[in-house]
Structure 1
């Protein structure tokens, strides 16, 4: 049974991690999400669960406006061959979320550490990062250092890399 949003918040608090959450209605598109979040401070992300040809899984956390090439991304993250999207069943089974709500907070559900978290290095310069809190009904703000602490507390070693040149 996946961890609930409330359990996530309890775990973050137990770790001494400060967060704030802006609730809003569930939505289908990035454009709808942008309208719902208004002028919420911080950086927003796109979060992709990808797999390589050997079946290794990577949770790529990138700035929402980052453009990177899936054909060559494997070389930056240590994957074997071109990366493709994980199935909806893998997303639900490993991260405990629906495909539209992929979030690094879902790593709390990956108790076997099957997923390699890959965080775009440029995100670490932001004051706040915003992610869905295990469901697509809000955005939860967390400081980058606290995100890394949370990921490590879930038993994962985050890989922070430049996803694009420059």
Structure 2
């Protein structure tokens, strides 16, 4: 099954409506943003992070224009060191290549061992956008529906003031 099909199937099962924009493969955030100009919804970036010993993984969702203060994030999640996880870890944990990380990758994490965090700044937005496990599509959905999706697939999340 194509990775996007699993996303579409799960959203349908959860009765979550979304808007789909198909486009050329997006290799950067700037390129992705150019493909979805004029469509309502906050542009997000999703980072797959790990601690020093690779014993804990984190999925952090924030506005794509905001820079992450890694020290602040590390302090908020009470870890001794945080860094970007390797592409091997990303594939092992979510079956995804770099460049398509999103909450939809959690569908491929049956262990449910990834901690999910949102930057508080984007939580009041009505809609968010994500690659649905492929960089050739962008999905827009209501923020409340994204939270319902996470709950529906068995993940909890925390909101941090980054």
Is the structural similarity TM-score above 0.5?
yes
Shift of 1:72: 2.7
Q: Which residue of 2 aligns with 1:153?
A: 152
Alignment of 1:41-120 (within 5 A): 41-55=40-54, 56-76=56-76, 78-120=77-119
Deviation of 1:79 after TM superposition, in Å, equals 3.7
Aligned to 1:14: 13
Distance in 1 separating the partners of 2:81 and 2:70: 7
TM-score where L is the length of structure 2:
0.93
What do you get for the CA RMSD once the two structures are aligned?
1.5
Distance 2:70 2:97 in 1: 22
1: CA distance, partners of 2:32 / 2:140: 15
1:142 to partner: Cα distance:
1.1
SS at match of 1:39: coil
TM-score, normalising length: structure 1: 0.91
How many residue pairs get matched?
161
Q: Deviation at 1:106?
A: 0.7
Provide structure 1 residue ranges, at least 5 long, that are not aligned to the other structure.
none
Q: Which runs of 5+ in 2 are unaligned?
A: none
Contact 2:33-2:43 at 8 Å conserved across structures: no
